[in-house]
Structure 1
């Protein structure tokens, strides 16, 4: 009976020492990540180390470990450490070394700012491989949950109530301490400890109140600037028309201070409550990405605290302008109606990019006559909202804009579903910006590996 099966002998020694090179397929993602990271210039990272203490792990090894971990859905530093023992691929990337989770976590936090430069270097590698040719791009955003619970948010009204309550309690406890009268208190109660606990909470609440008040001032300044812009445009229109504009004159915004329901999160105060399509309102950040329509590689990405996408096109254009000449610059840009505004259309044209920004939500199940109908006569001007609306109604414009959904949205789907990144690990805007850059690096490496496989 046993002759039918292969023998199993786990104690049999190897005749020759095993080699990780032989255990990993030639076209494995881990090999590609290591080979690509070896071509990157990591001088800035290496110079940050001094010669004190024991020899450090090489930055390129730790970098490849993070890139491969994020690309395969293993982004916890503890999980990565475990994988260097359990996984052949992670063993290969780590060169059979086992950096502990503290080392991995510290390295990630230490070099967050440098990741943006490495992201651009990876794009240059993609150009050299013939995988990237910038032309048509699509811009989109997604809400990614912060490492904080929305239930840890404190409203301004509640903060004022707690401040008043705790102040009264501290005063009562101070009186008890001065009178040396502990009869009303339980035996295990320590007055100094109770006072210290409340004073610590008061400090946190006052900091939260100050943050909310600062945000209210910033909001008022933004409303005032928007009002002045509106009035300036109104004066220009009245000057051109030679008469006053009909209708009521806009009222200047009032500085009413914080609203009762203005909130700050006590865990990550720089995150914001945002509405997500899947889970309702969440404590989150707005992650943006500009994606090449041909290769589906991310060309640019940034992070925002704003729930609305309307103000996210200008930062994207600025970052696209900063790409090296070797990478190139886009000719046409598609974006959904969340980015629609005259300022955004004009900004694209100022950057010599033809905008295709939807003027409104598309109607589902359109009749064929409407889908194939030709637009009316073209507008007199070749730029502006009217010209853009006309372009979107042409057959070419409809075909181009139709590619948007199959470009940017699948990228976010892969990041969240395949790579498993639905929540940031780090807290604070600057740290989360660095983590978003790390995620984009990992995604592009994963995509480049896929494109090479398709070419082969």
Structure 2
């Protein structure tokens, strides 16, 4: 005989909540979202029309989906009809995939940081983070864009320049036709003036209008008709396209046609193994105890320029300022050190040559300015042979974030017959070095800070704090490519991923405490 089996028999309990374990992740998500200030969501709905689904319910469902590697709105909608965890969270309501996607990509974009930081505050109340040590790192994630629909700034500028030349030739040809009797000298003056005039789509439209007026007086003029047709059908559309592309570039050198916010970057995940650039975003996170305490998305490939905008988000959202920032050598720039000093944050950030400086081979390179002695009183550098490098001039450079760095150039005036000339000056007549005195002082302070036991321990902690978080998200939870398009939508997407990560980590900690207890 078998155990009784009847799919039509009514069984108790009818309340699905009874089937959900008390320590299940779904209950923690329900608790965390209920603790959020409901005013966060008030601005999302202006009112009027059919009553919308409750934003807290929608957020709970999406966070639980992200925690379970479900990122598609269609798949989330499917779970609401099949999975009792989703059904309990939603109160058995069934928003369709369009509603879910609209809430995620449009409604949440203005409150994603408030939502994320609300969960971080709960972690702080639980004693899981102190928001003192800030472990910073970044990675590049591929955008939801075609890999081959790229636009390069240099190409646009090149084609735009050729178009300007063609326009000048056409306009000059028109003037030749209408002013055949004028002197050659005046024609030369006109051509020079035309070359100096900046060409824009408005300028081309103005020229087309003038041609139309001339053709009204002389409708059978074939050269004028040809010139007008060229300007209307070819030059004007292309000029408008190039102007739009230049506006889209901003400070970037490239963008994708299918996601214009995405920039072409070199990815770690290179399935073609050829170093090909792909459209993507530079993702930055700050962590503590493997909990994410801040996040940001950037359109630039390099990490150094992302650090300050990333940290400024903390101030923008009234977050506590960290006592220390710990990051790898990718962030070790003069600008970043100066920002930490200004904000009274201790920087445990290596610079690009930090590890090499510890080697014997580096210390034997006498041509390196780091191996020379600096005479602060005379502002001179003293080489291994006791010769002095005298100040010549200084140059300034402004970064993308507006920081002005000053580099001073020093030259040795007595290199002749020096036994070290071959290795120091590399067979040149004189040895010249370019130095940022401020950055040299910053590097000295960083070396001392990292040499101390506390600094060394903090920097070692970085490898087991922030780096595993990316491993968890990208490999264990399979989030290697964005599913949405546009900077704002992907910022929301990444914020939800970070929030889901924190909730999973929190649930794991609770489970560990329960086992130990």
Alpha-carbon shift at residue 92 of structure 1 (Å): 1.6
Which digits, 9 at most, give the CA deviation of each residue in 1:50-102, with x for residues without a partner? 55443321111001111111121112111100011121211121111111111
Give 1:26-37 correspondences, 5 Å limit: 26-37=22-33
Structure having greater relative contact order (Cα 8 Å, sep ≥ 6): 1
2:78 to 65, 82, 88: 82
Q: 1:302 to 1:216 in 2, by over 3 A?
A: closer
Q: Distance in 2 between matches of 1:306 and 1:338?
A: 14
Say yes or no: does 1:349 pair with 2:341: yes
1:104 to 100, 103, 107: 100
Give the corresponding residue for 2:310: 316
Say yes or no: does 1:123 pair with 2:114: no
SS of 2:309's equivalent?
A: helix
Q: 1:207 to 1:66 in 2, by over 3 A?
A: farther
2:242 to 173, 198, 209: 209
Q: Distance in 2 between matches of 1:359 and 1:49?
A: 48
Give the corresponding residue for 2:406: none
Aligned residues: 360
2:296 to 286, 292, 302: 302
Alpha-carbon shift at residue 353 of structure 1 (Å): 1.3
2:41 to 41, 45, 49: 45
1:270 to 258, 261, 264: 261
Instruction: Tell me how large the CA RMSD over aligned residues is.
Output: 3.3
Give the corresponding residue for 2:52: 56
2:322 to 293, 316, 330: 330
Q: Distance in 2 between matches of 1:297 and 1:283?
A: 28
1:94 to 87, 90, 96: 90
Conserved in 2, the CA contact under 8 Å of 1:323 and 1:329? no
- Calculate the TM-score normalised by the size of structure 1: 0.71
Give the corresponding residue for 1:452: 510
Say yes or no: does 1:408 pair with 2:466: yes
Alpha-carbon shift at residue 383 of structure 1 (Å): 6.8
SS of 1:453's equivalent?
A: helix
Q: Distance in 1 between matches of 2:151 and 2:490?
A: 22
SS of 2:109's equivalent?
A: coil
Conserved in 1, the CA contact under 8 Å of 2:33 and 2:60? yes
Alpha-carbon shift at residue 435 of structure 1 (Å): 2.1
Give 1:422-437 correspondences, 5 Å limit: 422-437=480-495
Say yes or no: does 1:138 pair with 2:135: yes
Give the corresponding residue for 1:148: 145
Q: Distance in 2 between matches of 1:407 and 1:118?
A: 23
Give the corresponding residue for 2:171: none
Which digits, 9 at most, give the CA deviation of each residue in 1:283-342, with x for residues without a partner? 1000100111xx3221111110010001111123222334556xx432221111111112
Q: Distance in 2 between matches of 1:443 and 1:52?
A: 35
SS of 2:110's equivalent?
A: coil
1:8 to 5, 8, 12: 5
Say yes or no: does 1:438 pair with 2:496: yes
Conserved in 1, the CA contact under 8 Å of 2:255 and 2:279? no
Give the corresponding residue for 2:331: 339
Q: 1:135 to 1:265 in 2, by over 3 A?
A: same
Which digits, 9 at most, give the CA deviation of each residue in 1:253-273, with x for residues without a partner? xxxxxxxxx543110111011
Structure showing greater radius of gyration is 2
Conserved in 2, the CA contact under 8 Å of 1:317 and 1:351? no
Q: 1:340 to 1:208 in 2, by over 3 A?
A: farther
Conserved in 2, the CA contact under 8 Å of 1:335 and 1:357? yes
SS of 2:462's equivalent?
A: coil
Q: Distance in 2 between matches of 1:142 and 1:149?
A: 20
Q: Distance in 2 between matches of 1:216 and 1:62?
A: 35
Give the corresponding residue for 1:419: 477
Conserved in 2, the CA contact under 8 Å of 1:144 and 1:422? yes
Which digits, 9 at most, give the CA deviation of each residue in 1:141-191, with x for residues without a partner? 011111102212134648959x99xxxxxxxxxxxxxxxxxxxxxxxxxxx
Q: Distance in 2 between matches of 1:424 and 1:133?
A: 31
Alpha-carbon shift at residue 122 of structure 1 (Å): 1.3
SS of 2:280's equivalent?
A: strand
Q: Distance in 1 between matches of 2:508 and 2:241?
A: 46
Q: Distance in 2 between matches of 1:51 and 1:355?
A: 48
Give the corresponding residue for 1:243: none
SS of 1:405's equivalent?
A: helix
SS of 2:321's equivalent?
A: coil
Segments of structure 1 that go 5 or more residues without pairing to the other structure are: 165-198, 220-261, 368-375
